[in-house]
Structures are given as structure tokens and as C-alpha cells.
Structure 1
Amino acid sequence: MKKTILLALLLAGSKAWAQPEIKPVGALPSAAQVKWQQLEYYMFIHFGPNTFTDKEWGHGDEDPKVFNPTELDARQWARTAKLAGMKGIIITAKHHDGFCLWPSEFSKHTVRESAWKNGKGDVLAELSAACREYGLLFGVYLSPWDRNHPAYGTPEYNQVFANQLKEVHTKYGDVFEQWFDGANGEGPNGKKQVYDWNLFESTVTNIHPNVIFFSDAGPGCRWIGNESGYAGVTNWSTLNRADFKPGMGGITETLNKGQEDGTHWVPGEADVSIRPGWFYSAATDGQVKTLPHLLDIYYGSVGRNANLLLNIPVDRRGRIHANDSTRLMELRRALDADFRENLARKARIAATNTRQGNTMISAVYLADGNYNTYWAAADGKTTGDITLSYANPVTFNRVSVQEFIPLGQRVRAFSVSVLQGKEWKEIARETTIGYKRILRLPLTTAKSIRISILDAKASPVISEVALFRAPELIADPEVSRDRSGMVSIKTQSPDPVIHYTLDGSVPTTASPKYEQPFSMPGAGTVSAKAFVNNGKEGSTVIDAVFGIAPAGFKAVTPGADAAIDASRRAWTTKENAYPAELVIDLGREQEVKAFSYTPNTHGGIVYKYALYVSKDGKEWGKPAVEGTFANVLNNPIPQYIKLSSPVTCKYIKFVALEPADPKDTRVSVSELEVY
């Protein structure tokens, strides 16, 4: 009798995997991919020599002794991730500079050669142990590009990299995700490498057969096409894998949306940093993304059928900075509040076109909290209505819908409506669902809510529906400055009181109150915070960093005034413009310590640059600073560059030397600022 009951329970628990009457559709996920999708949210950690040199892409020529965290605490990383509600951690075990966070036998550029723990340390050993302690999954990023290794650019290097993969996957326990960056630049010998991806993948799968590979082409999961954290509003989990390879370029839009009839299941992963850059820099301590911004990212990733990989860069101590961890806890509290009570569980749920003859398929399973139970429409029916009815009106502003993806992604379009009197009013219309789709809606009150599947590739199979009432947030202040140096601050929240500071301190209700635009012609930082409810509640603090107001600046280069007018308009050349010069007259001699280049997100992004200075606009000498804007194509944020020492000049000349995208030979500058 006990055996019979146990068998029944096992069959009930696994019934979703064995439904011969529901034919799977299209490419399907593996069991490992289904488990991966259910993780939803986990941590990225960028850490290495770049942490100590303020670079995004190191050149591989850094002295390994520069890596010397004074208080490294991997348990603090894991504890923070756990408290934030994350399910795992992926760390940059080896970035493009070739530096290994473990003492690799196949490199001389590792923690073994560093000053940290006199060369006896092993970051991967400490982090993998911390992940096990806190019940987190452990993942690794290893870049095949190596700007240090002497074999890079030769056939031997592929085996070197495979050996490093083998080291990492055999020494540190289970690895849930292997992150491959497709970057392929020149090594120390000036050569590029032809990567053997088959060798790399087989080396890993021989050890961890269920590992999820991340790359532009998967095979486990794919890059979402940007580094801002947003999946496409339409997002298919399938892709024609044969058409893609890591780092191929020109495919960002396709990766963002997926392909409806793709040959393989390659779901999206949205990677984004909590700061402007990927590695820690003290200069960005005041630029941690705000809570509303992070919530937007969450709903634009997890809420659009993608997983969210949020980067939290470890600082020079070897710890997560308080600003980052504080914001993570704020995000956790906000998400807990948003999804505290599923109002659908109080509803009477009914559905049309329900598949008949199977008691295991029913609308009653749609709000039972069990992903492996579901409602399904009959064969040949690609539409259906799910109605939630209440005895008393409910108020909601979030709707969540999930498909049962082990049987394929099916839904092409769906809508949400509410009954007003005798008429149904549509309040949302969207496209794909996939593993999870969450809609943010205006506060709505109704007794009947209808979720309509409008179009599907085959009979829809829906696992869960949910309604929530999320608290309203206080909108963050928006700080801007015009060309004359007048600063304006506004916010979308009703009746806010805004306070600000100019000395880098956190605004309080005792700080100056913003009442009208004020003048700040010099370089500096404006910190602003909005307060409501007599100062009892406040927004996130916004730090706006400004260069010298360009009131007296003049573009010597014809037609280039848009690059210095503080409007974020862009100066853009025609095709085949490289090298291109942008010369600016500062109006008078000024001491310049730094400059920033804001790329135009619509194209013409500069990668390699040089900046010259002059007192007369004729004699320029050698560049005051030159280099590259690392990763600017994928992360087109303002690039802040410090000069090695301050210079006094009246003219500056920005020279664009190489494009970030070889196919886009225009030069474009949204804003060039000096500090």
C-alpha cells in the first residue's frame, strides 16, 4: 500500500514531464536549462588587477603584484548574495588581461605571482567554499582572449586555455555556468587567436556535462544583446545556433529578441553592472544604480523571459562596497513587497478551450504555486481565455504569466482585460511569455480579470498566473545643467521636496532646498534627494557629475558645436572619417585634469583616441593622454579619462583613431567635457 501511494506521488510530481497527449513544440530545453531558468537572478563579480588600476580592459602588462586586496572576504560576497535573494555567483576567474584568480599551472600571470597572501592565495578556492556554505551555485567566467600569455595567437594556445578550463572545473567542485566572452583582440605578440570552441566546450562537458554555457551562441544560454540588462519586449528562447558564434558582432537585435522558430533552445541572460563600469572604481561610489533603475532592469529581464546576472564589483579591500550592498538590500525589500501576496490565489479561476479527458490538466492549477502543474488548451486551439473572478473588487498593478517550457515556448500574443460594467476593457497587450512574463500596470481595481491567449504556435500550456499589488515608489530626482551652467532638478513624484548638496555629502532635510535653477559654472558634483510625507520618506540619492560649463567654449572644427552644447545632441561625421579631429577653444586658459567622452548610442562610437592640448591652437606637441575606451561598444556610457598630471591650455584636440565597430566608420561625439 505504501509503495502504491509513493508511486502515485512520484507520478503526480513528475506528470508534467510525461504527457504523451500534449505534443512538444519546436526546440526544447534540457532539464538543466529548466533548472537554470528557475534561478532567475544571480550575481556577477568582476575582480582582478583592473580593480587596482581603474581599467575596464587591462593590457596584460600589469605587474601582478598590483593585485593585493587587504581584507578579502569571499564569505561576505556570498552572504550578501544570499541576503539579496540571489541564487549563485559567477566570478571573472580570468579576464582579458590573462590574470588568473587561481594559481594556474599554465600561466605566470596569476595570484601566485601577486603580493596577496605572499602568493599563497586562491580566490576561486575561497569563493567556491563560501558558495557551498551559503547554499549558492558557483560559476566562472574565463576569457579566451589573453593579452599576457606568450602563446596567444599560436595553435598551442588553444590547448593552454583548455588546460586552464580543466583546472578550474576539476579543483573547485560543481560549476553551474561557464561564461565565455567572445572578445578576440591582439595578444602580446600582436597576433589574434583562432579559437577552438569545440575543444573548449568538450573539455568542460567531460567534467560537468550539465553545465550551462553562456556566449553569443550559447549553447546553454545567450547574451541578450546589450549590457544594460534589458531583454526584448518580444523574447523567444530559441535560436538558429548554426548562424551564430561567440563575438561575431552585428547580431545584437536578434539576440535581444531570439528567433521564433529557432533550431535550438538558447534562452537569454541579461548581464548588467550595478555601477557604470564592470570593475570597481572609487570614482563610481556615488554612481550605483538607483532602486527604480534596478527595478526597471529586473522587470526588463526576469519579467521578459530572461535571467538577470547583476554585476557587483569587489573593491580594493576585497569586499563588496557598502553602497552596493545597501542598494541590493533595498532591491530585495522592494521585490519582496512587490510580490508579497499573489491575489490570484483568492480568485475563482476558469478557462475556455480547456483540453478534455485529463484530470491532471485544469485551470485550478494556475495559481497553486507549483510550476509542474498547468492548464492546457485542446489540440488545434491556439487561443483561450483565463478569467479570475472575485466576490469583492481587488486592486492590482502587476500581472505574471508563465508557460510550461519543457513542452516548448508557444505563445505569440496575449492580453489582459478587466470587466467594467458589462464590457471588457483591455489594459495590456503583449507578445511572448516564455518561462515568465511580468507586466507592470497602473493601479487597477476590478472584480473580473481576463488573460487572453490571442495567438500561439500550438495549443498553449500555461503553468502559473499571478496578480500583485506593488507599492508605489518615490521617483528619483533628475539633475541637468545647461550650457551656461544653470542646474535644474525635477522629479516625477507628486509634491516632492528636493534637497541638494555640492560637497559630495548625502542630502538631508537640513540641506539646501531646491526651489529654482542655480548657477554652477565650474566642474563639480550635485547630489540630490526627493522627500515626501514631511521628510519621512526619501528617494535614492542622485549624484550628477559635471565638467566645466561650456558657456565660453567654441568648436573650432566646423559644425561640431553639438559636441559641447550640454544638450546630448551629437556631432557626427560622414563615413570613412578616421582619423578625425575635434578641436575646441575653451575661451581662456584653464587647468585641465581630465576629460570625458560620451558616445552616441546611435552609432559612430570611438574606440581608440588621443587628446592633445595647446595654448595657441597651433603647437600641440605629444598627446596629453591616449588609449582606448574599453568595452565602449557594448557599454556605451560616458568615458572619464584622467590626465597623468594637470595641464594649462586654451585649446584641446580630441582625435578619433579607431572605431569601436569596424563596420561603422563614422565618428560621433554626444558630449566632450573637460574637468
Structure 2
Amino acid sequence: MANPFYYSYSYTIFLLISLHVAAIAWQEQGTFVTTPPLPILPLPSYSQLKWQQREIIMFFHFGVNTFTDSEWGTGQENPAIFDPKGLNAAQWIDTAVQAGVSLVVLTAKHHDGFCLWPSKYTDHSVIGSPWKNGHGDVIQELVNAAKARGVDVGLYLSPWDRHDPRYGQNKAYNEYYMAQLQELVNKYGSIKEIWFDGAKGSNAPNMTYDFSDWFSLVKELQSSINIFSDAGPDVRWVGNEKGFAGSTCWSTINRTALSIGNGSIVNYLNKGDPKGTDWLPPECDVSIRTGWFWHKSQSPKQLDQLLEIYYNSVGRNCVLLLNVPPNTAGLISESDVQRVIEFRKAIDTIFSSNWAEKCAITASSQRGGKGGGFGPENVVDGDHLWTYWAPSDEYKEDHWIEFKSLNGPLIFNVVRIQEAIGLGQRIRLHEIYADGVRIASGTTVGHKKLYRLEKGVVQAFCVRIEIIGSRATPLISSVGLHFDPFWHPNGLVPWQVVH
């Protein structure tokens, strides 16, 4: 007969072994699976994050001004002057795609009040144009062309209307404006950005815009849209039309301190606010030409000018909205097409190679210790948002991450730093050293901070980034050491240095 004590003893041993294995598994899980750090508010929305990652978007200023060689129309133009016989929206979109752009914004109505779609509420539109015998719709043509290429569309509807007689009558004009707004966001499918501004002539009639009602209507009809204005609520103006953000540039700001068309807040818009309660990142609008509308007498900016704008917009935590205006034929001029292609090729050339990927990377500390998932190696993977180096919360001294060459000197003149902004913007102050010599220093980082080094090309065996001020534990998602062959501040062509 079997001994019951033997079975009881065996079961006890089995139970103890099982508990021990479970304890080891729990310990291993506790060792190797470390929780992410807490976010720091405010945070971006999903649509704001997607917008930020576009980095460059494109504006199309087009309308009666294109045919009158003016920037601000009078509102008295005859719609018959609008006759873009060769209009080809597919060519516009092709230009955007070649520029690496995934969102385009069209002036559906500028200050002159002329509408590029057949609005039911006015005849001051393409209805009165000889183009397509009054049956044309520029917005629909753009939407169709964009959809075919996987490009998103945004629209600008000027609040100031110099044509409509209701302008200056608060109730009547707000009803008119909201009716047109409803047409636009209802009729043309998914609209990813709607653009409002406060531009208005000094002698324009007094008019109170019902911005809050407009915003509410837009959000009701398009929940994933981003609304741009001086006061957001999703994207803010950078405060100038040069394409330059402040060297300090927070995505956070206090919306209660903002108002549309208020010239006294441009510095605040330009820099943002580290104590801001709202996530409202800036957009830098600038034209490829001197004017916003096409003029035969004007030419596109030179490549070096566009690159300077890029470093001071995208490289300062902003999205660049680059205006490329169609001409009287309804096409993007060939000189502009070639310039934006050249611009994109230059950007790709600069950032296609990253010396940091060829380095041994160490850091002052890392969250969860080695193998915890937050090591410095994350800054050179392909994810620039959700994988990151996180130092340990236990360390109170300055945090640093270091890149040491494994084979010969590192040769670069651009440094790129990116934060994991999905968990908030944190870095207040940082410095960059090459072989112990400081080569750059700055304040905010945000989605992307780019330094074109003032002294030109650096050759070094060790590069260290020190975070010496932060709102919370800094989280760095990506670092790049790049070579820009177009940047030669000392008059020496960079290729001479490299080769």
C-alpha cells in the first residue's frame, strides 16, 4: 500500500518548487520590465503629434490676386478675371510630394472675398469665372488630386472679407461666415487643418468674430482636424512671417493670454511658456517668394535661404508652412518646382547619414538599469517618439549622454536632438561638448532641435550632451551628428575639411 506521507511530502516539495519558480519569474519580470516614467502635462493630442511629425507642409495662395498682381485684393474684382486655363492640381500635389510634403493648405477665400469653390451663399466665386464656364471647383480638384497621391488637405478661410456687404454687421456676417465654414468642412471629406488669422486693414469696419462658435462647429464636423490661429486651439502662429521661431520655443503656452490679431503677444507666441497649461505648438508660415501670391517679377528664395529657414523652424520645435503659389496658368512655376526639389534633396543629403550610429553610447544613468528598456542605445533606433533614453530618477546631478568614436574621428557640423514629446516637453537647458570643448548650448529641445555649428566642421572622438535643466526627468528619443555640405560659415567649403 502506498505511503500517504510520501504523497503529502512529494506534493509539498512540488508546491515549494513551483512557488520558487514563480518567484524567480516575478523577480525577472521586475528586473527587466521597467515602467515608463510619468508624463508631464500638458500633452499633445494624437492629431497634434501627427502634425508635428510632418515637419514641412505647403501653402497654396491662389485667387484673383494671382491675376491682378496684388497681395491684398480690394473685394471689387470682377470674377471674370479668374481664368487659370491650364489649372492642374495634380501638378501642385506632385510638387508637394517631391518636396516630401504630406499636407497642403489652400486659400479657399482670401481677404478679397473671392471663393475658389461654388458657394451657395455668394456669386463672388468661381461661378462667375470663365474657367470651366463657371462650373469649376478648385477645392474639389485639389482634394481629388491629393487623395490620389495620399496627401492630406487643409483650408484657409479669411475672416476679413472686403467684398461681402455684411462685413461689419456682427450677427449677419458671422452667420454668413459660419455657413461657408460649414460648406467647406462638410463637403470635401477629411480636412486636416483649418487656418484662421486676424489680418485686417486699418480702415476696415469694426467686426467681432465669433471664433469660439467657429471652432466648436469645426470640431463638431471634423473631430481630428487641427485648428490654426494666433490662439490655437491646436496650432499657434509663431508670431512672424519670416519662418523663424525663437531660439527658446516651448510647445506649451497659456491660451487665456492669447487673442487673435493682437500684435502685443507676438514675442509670447514666438517663445511659448514653460509654465503653460496648454499644448499649442507653433507653425512657421513663410513664402518661397517675396509675396504670398504669384508675381511674374519675383523669383524663389535661394537654397541657402530656405535651409536657414528650415534650421530656424523645424530645427526649433516647429512645423514649417512653406507657401508655393500657383501662377496665372494654374500651375506651380518651374523655377519654384525645381527649388523645392533642390530643397528636399539638400535636407535628405544632410540627414541621410548619422555619425552617432557608429559610436559607443554611454549615459550618466538609465531608468531600470541595464536591460530595463530605457538605455542610451534608443537614441539611434528608427523610432523618434516612443523609444528613448531615460536617466534614473534617483540621480539628482546633471544628466549626460556620450558618443565615442569606434574608428577615427567623428566629422560633423550639425547636431540634432529630439525629445519624446508624447510624454511632454521637458528640457530647459543643455550644452554640447566635443572632446571636452563646448561647441553649442541652448534652452528648449522639443520635437527637434538642430544646431548648425557656428565654427563649422568639427572633428572629435567624443561628443557629450549634458542636460543641465529640465522640468522633469529628460527623455531623449533621438540624437544625430550630421554633415551639412551646404554650411560653410568660415568661407571654407566643408568637403575640403572632410577630404
Q: 2:365 aligns with which of 353, 367, 389?
A: 353
**Residue number in structure 2 paired with 1:416:** 432
Equivalent residue letter for 2:261: G
Question: Which whole-Å CA distance do the structure 2 matches of 1:19 and 1:250 have between them?
Answer: 47
1:65-464 residue pairs with structure 2 within 5 A?
A: 65-154=80-169, 155-185=171-201, 191-284=205-298, 287-356=299-368, 359-371=372-384, 372-379=386-393, 381=396, 383-392=398-407, 393-419=409-435, 424-441=436-453, 442-464=456-478
Contact 1:51 1:281 in 2 (8 A): yes
Q: CA deviation at 1:493?
A: 4.6
Question: Which whole-Å CA distance do the structure 2 matches of 1:57 and 1:47 have between them?
Answer: 12
**Residue number in structure 2 paired with 1:628:** none
**Range 74-83 or range 158-167, more displaced:** 158-167
CA RMSD of aligned residues (A): 2.0
Contact 2:67 2:82 in 1 (8 A): yes
**Structure with more contact order per residue of length (Cα contacts < 8 Å, sep ≥ 6):** 2
Instruction: String of CA shifts for 1:596-634, please: whole Å, max 9, x gaps.
Output: xxxxxxxxxxxxxxxxxxxxxxxxxxxxxxxxxxxxxxx
Equivalent residue letter for 1:425: V
Equivalent residue letter for 2:191: V
Question: Which whole-Å CA distance do the structure 1 matches of 2:146 and 2:206 have between them?
Answer: 35
Question: Which whole-Å CA distance do the structure 2 matches of 1:378 and 1:32 have between them?
Answer: 30
Contact 2:414 2:482 in 1 (8 A): yes
SS at match of 2:153: strand
Contact 1:417 1:450 in 2 (8 A): yes
SS at match of 1:429: strand
**Residue number in structure 1 paired with 2:53:** 38
Question: Which whole-Å CA distance do the structure 2 matches of 1:269 and 1:325 have between them?
Answer: 22
Contact 1:231 1:256 in 2 (8 A): yes
Give the structure-2-normalised TM-score: 0.88
Contact 1:383 1:460 in 2 (8 A): no
In structure 1, stretches of 5+ residues that fail to align are 1-17, 476-491, 496-531, 534-675
1:581-620 residue pairs with structure 2 within 5 A?
A: none
Question: Which whole-Å CA distance do the structure 1 matches of 2:196 and 2:177 have between them?
Answer: 12
Equivalent residue letter for 1:384: H
Equivalent residue letter for 2:90: R
Q: CA deviation at 1:192?
A: 2.6
Contact 1:343 1:466 in 2 (8 A): yes
User: How many residue pairs get matched?
Assistant: 456
User: In 2 relative to 1, CA 19–207 (structure 1 residues): closer, same or farther, beyond 3 Å?
Assistant: farther
Q: CA deviation at 1:19?
A: 8.7
Question: Which whole-Å CA distance do the structure 1 matches of 2:137 and 2:89 have between them?
Answer: 11
User: In 2 relative to 1, CA 19–200 (structure 1 residues): closer, same or farther, beyond 3 Å?
Assistant: farther
Q: 1 or 2, which has the higher strand percentage?
A: 1
**Residue number in structure 1 paired with 2:29:** none
Instruction: String of CA shifts for 1:171-228, please: whole Å, max 9, x gaps.
Output: 11111111101124589xx633210011111111111111111111111111111101
Contact 1:403 1:464 in 2 (8 A): yes
Instruction: String of CA shifts for 1:38-73, please: whole Å, max 9, x gaps.
Output: 000011010000001111111111111111112000
Q: CA deviation at 1:87?
A: 1.7
Q: 1 or 2, which has the higher helix percentage?
A: 2
Contact 1:237 1:409 in 2 (8 A): yes
Contact 1:382 1:460 in 2 (8 A): no
Q: 2:76 aligns with which of 53, 57, 61?
A: 61
Q: CA deviation at 1:151?
A: 1.5
**Residue number in structure 1 paired with 2:3:** none
Contact 1:382 1:457 in 2 (8 A): no
User: In 2 relative to 1, CA 90–352 (structure 1 residues): closer, same or farther, beyond 3 Å?
Assistant: same
User: In 2 relative to 1, CA 79–21 (structure 1 residues): closer, same or farther, beyond 3 Å?
Assistant: closer
Q: CA deviation at 1:347?
A: 1.3
SS at match of 2:297: helix
Contact 1:382 1:459 in 2 (8 A): no
Contact 1:239 1:263 in 2 (8 A): yes
Q: CA deviation at 1:360?
A: 2.3
Percent identical:
45
The 4+ residue runs of structure 1 with deviation greater than 6 A are none
Question: Which whole-Å CA distance do the structure 1 matches of 2:34 and 2:75 have between them?
Answer: 54
Question: Which whole-Å CA distance do the structure 1 matches of 2:207 and 2:189 have between them?
Answer: 29
Q: CA deviation at 1:236?
A: 0.5
User: In 2 relative to 1, CA 59–411 (structure 1 residues): closer, same or farther, beyond 3 Å?
Assistant: same
Instruction: String of CA shifts for 1:543-582, please: whole Å, max 9, x gaps.
Output: xxxxxxxxxxxxxxxxxxxxxxxxxxxxxxxxxxxxxxxx
**Range 228-237 or range 165-174, more displaced:** 165-174
Contact 1:24 1:407 in 2 (8 A): yes
Equivalent residue letter for 2:463: I
Instruction: String of CA shifts for 1:138-190, please: whole Å, max 9, x gaps.
Output: 00011111111122111121121111111111111111111101124589xx6
Question: Which whole-Å CA distance do the structure 2 matches of 1:230 and 1:343 have between them?
Answer: 27
Q: CA deviation at 1:472?
A: 3.5
Equivalent residue letter for 2:46: A
Q: CA deviation at 1:259?
A: 1.1
Equivalent residue letter for 2:376: A
Equivalent residue letter for 1:409: Q
**Residue number in structure 2 paired with 1:670:** none
